[in-house]
Amino acid sequence: MPISSNFRLKTSNPFLTSGAGQMLLAAFWFALMNVFVKKVSHLPAMELVMFRCSVSTAFCLGGMYQHKVSGTGSNKKLLLLRGFFGTAALYLYFLTVQHMPLGTAVSVQYLSPVFTVIIASILLKEKITRLQVLFSLISFSGVLFIKGFDARISLFYLGVGVLSAIISSLAYNMIRSLAGKEHPLVVVLHFQLMAAIIGFICTLFNWVTPHGMEWLWLFLVGASTQLGQMAMTRSLQKEKVSKVSILTYTGIIYAILFGYFLFGESYGLPAVFGMILIVGGVVLNILFGQGRVKAEIASEPLKNNL
């Protein structure tokens, strides 16, 4: 009897917990967002930003009304900076999704946690260890592999992808500066609303009318983002960030599969190795990071989808 009781106790903790399952689902929804963006690659990237963030703004306002949260905010400068950096990063990221193989665009964007650590060490005086420097260099070497062995990728759009990751890291540091000062919904709203407004102004000068199913793809860009956010939030409410954050990197698997089956994209072994180096370096940062830095690095890929 004691043996069977112990056995039941051990097997009552499944490998795939509810929180882990929600994080895998979140990664899937965010990967679908990339698919819908690529479906309308001929539309201006800022037009996609406008549609994506308009839909997300509507959902966000609904959540604020439900929870009776004021959207004004008290840290205007930081909120504006977070919104500006987030908008610029999203625009540049959509450009890479439109002009690069899906798996490659997603992989390069995963450099953002690396830049976040570097910038946080400068702006927020957070400690960066030698191991983190080593793992960051591993990630950067992956970019060189991708560029050197994939002729489809131009140096220009690769640079755009890296720039997007850098600006994303600035946005994440603004989020970290606002921790405990603003309600999360307020921070999200200022980003979504600013991006929608800037996107609208830009499209006034470069509007391309969607046709037929393209209207649906545009709506689904925003809807899939919101579904991913909901699944991610449920995951983080059920599990510690350190336990589920690594699962966000399943997004690269989704990207490669979607790219192959939906867009006919394929990758040589050197390019795949470059993706592994990028993601591997970031994951090692998560696994071997210390204290507060470890937890916050782990959360960065999640914030990128706000």
Query: Could you report the per-residue pLDDT of 15-27, keeping only the tens digit for each?
Result: 577 878 888 898 9
d(CA 67, CA 222): 21
Return the beta strands (E) in 146-283 as ranges.
none
Mean pLDDT of 39-49: 95
Confidence of residue 231 (pLDDT cuts 50, 70, 90): confident
139 has pLDDT over 50: yes
d(CA 263, CA 102): 9
d(CA 252, CA 182): 32
Query: Would you state the pLDDT for residue 241?
Result: 60
Confidence of residue 213 (pLDDT cuts 50, 70, 90): very high
Confidence of residue 14 (pLDDT cuts 50, 70, 90): low
Distance of CA 166 to the CA centre of its chain: 13
The helix (run of H) or strand (run of E) holding residue 45 is helix 45-67
124 has pLDDT over 60: yes
Residues 6+ apart with CB under 8 A from 42: 208
257 has pLDDT over 80: yes
Q: How many CA atoms lie within 13 A of 216 on its CB side?
A: 2
d(CA 258, CA 264): 9
Considering 11-25, 74-88, 167-181, the range whose residues carry the highest mean pLDDT is 74-88
Query: Would you state the pLDDT for residue 83?
Result: 92
Pair of tokens at residue 199: 């996107």
Q: How deeply is 279 buried, as exposed, middle or buried, from its count of CB atoms within 10 A (0-12, 13-18, 19+)?
A: buried
6 has pLDDT over 90: no
Distances (CA, A) of 140 to 220, 245, 249, 293: 32, 21, 17, 20
Look at 290 and 241; give whichever has higher pLDDT.
241
Query: Would you state the pLDDT for residue 15?
Result: 53
Are 84 and 92 within 8 A, CB to CB?
no
Phi-psi region of 267 (alpha: psi -120 to 50; beta: other; left: phi over 0): beta
Considering 202-211, 245-254, 267-276, the range whose residues carry the highest mean pLDDT is 202-211
Distances (CA, A) of 82 to 89, 94, 168, 200: 10, 18, 9, 18
Confidence of residue 91 (pLDDT cuts 50, 70, 90): very high
Confidence of residue 49 (pLDDT cuts 50, 70, 90): very high
- Mean confidence (pLDDT) of the chain: 82
| Nearest Cα residue to 19 out of 238, 295, 245 | 238
Confidence of residue 159 (pLDDT cuts 50, 70, 90): very high
Confidence of residue 294 (pLDDT cuts 50, 70, 90): very low
| Nearest Cα residue to 251 out of 83, 58, 4, 27 | 27
Pair of tokens at residue 218: 């545009």
Query: Would you state the pLDDT for residue 210?
Result: 95
| Nearest Cα residue to 157 out of 113, 94, 112 | 94
